[in-house]
Chain A
Amino acid sequence: MSEIIKVGMADLKVCKAPDALTTLGLGSCVGIAIRDAAKGIGGLAHIMLPDSTAIKDNTNIPKFADTGIDELVRQLVAMGAGRTRLEAKIAGGAQMFAFSGKSTSANVGERNAEAVKKKLGELRIPILAEDTGKNFGRTVVYYPANGNFLIRAVGRDEYVI
């Protein structure tokens, strides 16, 4: 029996196919799905903030794009994934309200998505697909078996990227 493992906010998990990973109600946060297709090993991170170095209390590793992705890759490799075979898909980073606050919350969705892309670029992990921005929440399910990244939103048909 395959299992769908839940990833919370500021959290990350890895699994082996046929198990899958899900995170519910991504808003301005970003979900980063990474897998090694050959091994069927995949992981999902749900990050909240772009940059751990900008925050004093940054011990919660999965909360930040930079440290979260590093940790996700570390756990994937520890589980047996090939570092050079990793591929990514990303979703989230919405702007839930029309205006945005100063400093922190100003376009934080967009800044999260940019920080994720920059980090994946630095690690040379290709982004095969993305569904970021806009103004709605997303629930995602990631299947390391085939790389499908299923996206559900309120009032929309579900789709796969």
Chain B
Amino acid sequence: MATLDLNHVSQEYFDVLKEIGNIGAGNATTALAQLLGQKVDMKVPQVRLLDFQEVGAIMGGEEQIMAGIYLLVEGDIDGSIMFLLQEEAAHILVNQLMGVGSGGKTEGGFDEMELSALKEIGNIITGAYLNSLSMLTNMKIYPSIPDLSIDMAGAILSVPAIEFGELGDKMLLIQTQFTDDKEIDGFFILVPDLESYDKIMGSLGIG
């Protein structure tokens, strides 16, 4: 069985990872539209394999305050998934979910109610993403209860970066742009463990 080396990833592997990213982000957009009860458009997601040093810059710098929702994944594959939003985007989504629309605040901290709304948004988006991965690969994937951290991008990203760090010096980032009134950038990071990468590729007849 092929063993994934993220420092020398083949075009074929990359295309598959990209397609999983596309479908997953598409489903996540549908789920978000249902949750918010309004139409949400999505641009074609960008899937990139980045050096650790580059990831923070894409999100607006290592000190950009982000909301990160992190879940562990078990079942036929093991690993974790993270969904990240910039602080302002997180406020916009929370305001919409809570029905305060553009009247709500767009910066600063989140109260208990808002944090719980944010967790729910993260839960639904990552759930939709994992569902499409599960259907595509025909594997059972069970997510844990999500946990949320609002902190500097670099600090939140250190968690998946360390997991990728065992595989190489790059990490796989899926950037999705949701649009309704405002453009909202969401970032997915899926980190299956080494064995699970092989399983995903194997289930798709590759590797």
Contacts and interface: CB of A to CB of B under 8 A. Distances in A.
A138 B62 CA distance: 10
Secondary structure class of chain B's binding surface, majority of residues: mixed
A65 to B, nearest CB: 12
B207 interface: no
Contacts of B154: 9, 24-27, 137, 139
A97 B153 CA distance: 14
A132 B58 CA distance: 27
Interface string B151-181: 1111111110111011111000000000000
Interface in A14-28: 24-28
Contacts of B79: 101
A159 B150 CA distance: 20
B65 A154 contact: yes
A57 interface: yes
Contacts of B65: 154
A71 to B, nearest CB: 16
Interface string A3-38: 000001111000000000000111111000000000
Contacts, number: 115
Interface of B: 5, 7, 52-53, 56, 61-63, 65, 68, 70, 72, 78-80, 109, 144, 147, 149-159, 161-163, 165-169, 193
Given A96-B149, A98-B147, A101-B80, A108 B53 contact: no
A96 B157 CA distance: 9
User: Which of B61, B80, B165 has the largest number of chain A CB atoms within 10 A?
Assistant: B165
Given A27-B155, A49-B162, A137-B158, 9 more contacts: A9-B52, A28-B158, A48-B161, A48-B165, A57-B167, A97-B70, A97-B149, A103-B193, A139-B63
A143 to B, nearest CB: 19
A60 interface: yes
A10 B165 contact: yes
A89 interface: no
Contacts of A136: 151, 155
B155 A26 contact: yes
A8 B168 CA distance: 16
A94 interface: yes
A105 interface: yes
